[in-house]
Structure 1
Amino acid sequence: MSGESKSRGPLFNVLIVVGGLIFGFGLGFSHMARPEVVLNFLQFEDFGLLFVMGGAAVVTGVTFAVASRSSGRAPLTGKAYTRRLKSFDRNVLIGGGIFGVGWGLSGICPGAAYASLGIGNYPILFAIGGMFAGAYAQGLWRKHSVSDRPVSSEAD
């Protein structure tokens, strides 16, 4: 067991599942788990998704602002709040483009794909299978590309 998972409280996994259930219920309730609604948004025909995402961003932003000021520690892990910066590089740009094309073709993003199963959209399993296959292929590609690089004698 890793050191990180040892520091988590006993209710950590339960809270994660409850949060996921609330998220999934919200996606289903707002009809954002239906690919045709997402595709209508991407074709500028229905802007409901914009309001759902905006509402979620506001609630999340306020929650993090209040939580980080009140205790300075994450409630589930007890770790200090810190900024996690990811450089904007070629991999982020290409990966984001591939993700966007997949989202546009399938009409569904990963979170909504799982919620879509809950409303009976079983053909979405093909998209979920594609997400797993794509992630696996990327892992193989990264492993192959890293193993082809010469080992540097310099310390990082």
Structure 2
Amino acid sequence: MHKLPILKSIRLYLVSFSFVYRNNFFGLLMGIAFGFFMSHAGATTYDYHAKMFLFQDFQLLIVIAMAVVIAMIGVTLMKKFHVTAVATGAEVDFVKKPYQKGLIAGAMLFGIGWGMTASCPGTIPAMIGEGKIAGIFALIGLLIGTMAYGILQSYIRLEKAQKTTSNS
């Protein structure tokens, strides 16, 4: 058993705990802020999405456009100043992803899901946090779709491997 006073022991424990989990705290705080702003902008409300897709109200479209512009500026600045990641300390790398065969079909499925649920992956946790039951169903659909994608990718790789071995 240690001989430190109880207050000093608690303080040391809290400091070490916050040091070890600082990235998780940062992520949690940023997630809460993101969810708050998504909710405040109306991105978690079905009516805003429906009106945007019907070209009746452009509030949500303006929010999305602003987010794109701010992200473009942020990425440009991060590239220019060689920003390092908070978690690892390594320089943030912007690798262009190669085109994949099923990208168009995947984008169409994403759009259909967004139109049907009025939510994208970023708004689902905020919807659940607001207590909207539709967010739970959207999350279930997102998880099933992700699982289906993984299974399909495994199947495609297996097919390619079998064709390669049969041609050899």
**TM-score normalized by the length of structure 2:** 0.75
* Higher normalized helix content (fraction of residues): 2
**Equivalent residue, structure 1, for 2:54:** 43
Q: Provide, for residues 68-118 of structure 1, a one-character-per-residue CA deviation record: whole Å limited to 9, x for no partner.
A: 333x13241322233211223322111111111111111111111211122
| 1:12 aligned partner | 23
User: What CA distance in whole angstroms lies between the structure 2 residues aligned with 1:68 and 1:10?
Assistant: 27
Residue 10 of structure 1 and its aligned partner are, at CA, apart by 4.9
**Structure 1 Cα separation of the partners of residues 53 and 59 of structure 2:** 11
- CA spacing shift, 1:10–1:69, aligned 2, 3 Å: farther
- Cα 1:13–1:32 change in 2 (3 A) is same
Match 1:130 to one of 137, 141, 153: 141
Do structure 1's residue 74 and structure 2's residue 84 form an aligned pair? yes
Which residue identity does 2:26 align to in structure 1? L
2:52 touches 2:58 (CA, 8 Å); kept in 1? yes
CA deviation digits over 1:25-59, x for unaligned, max 9? Answer: 00111111112211211111111112111222233
- The aligned amino acid for 1:23 is F
On the 8 A contact 2:39/2:126 being kept in 1, the answer is yes
Structure 2 counterpart of 1:94, from 98, 105, 113: 105
Q: Which runs of 5+ in 2 are unaligned?
A: 1-19
Task: Tell me how far 1:141 sits from its aligned partner.
Answer: 1.8
Separation in 2, partners of 1:136, 1:87 = 22
Structure 1 residue 136: Cα displacement:
0.8
| Deviant stretches of 4+, over 6 Å | none
Match for 1:79: what amino acid?
A: A
Q: Which runs of 5+ in 1 are unaligned?
A: 1-8
What is the RMSD of the two structures over their aligned residues, measured on CA atoms?
2.1
Which residue type is aligned with residue 43 of structure 1? L
Take 1:123 and 1:105, find their aligned partners in 2: how far apart are those partners? 11
Number of equivalent positions: 144
Q: What residue is the counterpart of 2:115 in the other structure?
A: 104
Secondary structure of the residue aligned to 1:148 is: helix
Q: Which residue of 2 aligns with 1:5?
A: none
Cα distance between partner residues in 1 of 2:117 and 2:157: 30
Find out whether 1:24 has 2:35 as its counterpart.
yes
